[in-house]
Amino acid sequence: MIIKEYVKNKKIEMKNLILNMERRPKLVIVQINEDEASKAYIRGKLKDAEELGVNAELVKLPLDTTEGELLKKIDELNHDESIDGFIVQMPLPKHINEETVKLAISPEKDVDGFHPLSYLDPCTPRGIMNYLKAENIQIQGRNAVVIGRSNIVGKPMARLLLKESANVTILHSKTSFEDMKRYIANADIIVIAIGKAGFLDRKFDYKESAVIVDVGINRLEDGLHGDAERDLPVALQTPVPGGVGLLTRLALYENLLTIVENKK
């Protein structure tokens, strides 16, 4: 099923679930940047909230907010019982340490799943795993290659694929081209998140039955491009735009609902 359809159906299910709750779940989004991509992500998240019946509030703090002031705000949100979960939109201004901020968010309310003690999975890997399962893609015993080793996509993605018993390899900027070719040619599932437009192209060989999950969102003059060239000769390739971005947005609310359900 194309991702748009899948997300639409999932949203209907979630909306019905929320309608039957005693109170609407509440999400807070904290923003301390004027970043265009962040603005677009936040607009999308707020639109989803409205559609789903989630009470979402945007807290915009000035760019000169100090780390101490932000930590105080986080402490307030951690203790506010009317709030089920919150996120601090990244990137943050240079004078604020992102790692300190991630660790300050209570794992109980960490909808992003960024805290090392969080029981929630980060949104992009969670969204991707749910989609692969919905598509009945076999994971157990398959060769999964994750390209990129970031803390929010590559590493948790590899962990989730391993949990489902895939044979997982992580490739990265120090992997030689020859090795890259070899692993890609043998891959059943490729998840790429390196932020390089069209990196996966026809210089690589692919299994005809391979699945490519493209996490890249690269803004070029002629529009948005993924990390993979379009229409590669594989069985399934997620598009950009209209692909993983939608799955990530959906997973944010899946995480929020997991938090609400766990409170019962």
Q: Whose Cβ is closer to ligand GUN: residue 180's or residue 194's? A: 194
**Is position 205 annotated as part of the catalytic site?**
no
Instruction: Give yes or no: 89 in active site.
Output: yes
Of 109, 122, 135, 142, which Cα lies nearest the Cα of 210? 142
Query: From the CB of 78, what's the least distance to ligand GUN, in Å?
Result: 16
Name which position in 110, 112, 229, 254 contacts ligand GUN (CB under 6 A): 112
d(CA 33, CA 190): 32
The set of residues, in sequence order, having a beta carbon less than 8 Å from that of 183 and lying 6+ positions away, is 145, 169, 171, 175
Which residue of the set 10, 26, 31, 45 is catalytic?
45
Q: Which pair of tokens denotes residue 82?
A: 């009317």
- Identify which of residues 41 and 204 has a Cβ nearer to ligand GUN in the complex: 41
Relative orientation angle of helices 154-163 and 123-134, to the nearest 10 degrees: 40
Is 45 among the residues known to form the active site?
yes
Among the listed residues 17, 71, 90, 103, the single contact to ligand GUN using CB under 6 A: 90
Residue 205 C-beta: closest distance to ligand GUN, Å: 32
Among positions 21-60, residues that touch ligand GUN (CB under 6 A) are 38, 41
User: Closer to ligand GUN at the Cβ: 90 or 197?
Assistant: 90
Locate all alpha helices (DSSP H) within the chain, ordered by sequence: 3-19, 36-52, 67-79, 98-104, 123-134, 154-163, 177-185, 244-263
Q: Which of 10, 49, 73, 89 binds ligand GUN (CB under 6 A)?
A: 89
**Cα–Cα distance measured from residue 55 to residue 40, given in angstroms and rounded to the nearest whole number:** 19
Tell me how far apart the 2 most distant CA atoms of the chain are, in Å: 57
The residues annotated as belonging to the active site are 45, 89, 112
Q: Which residues bind ligand GUN (CB under 6 A)?
A: 38, 41, 87-90, 112, 123
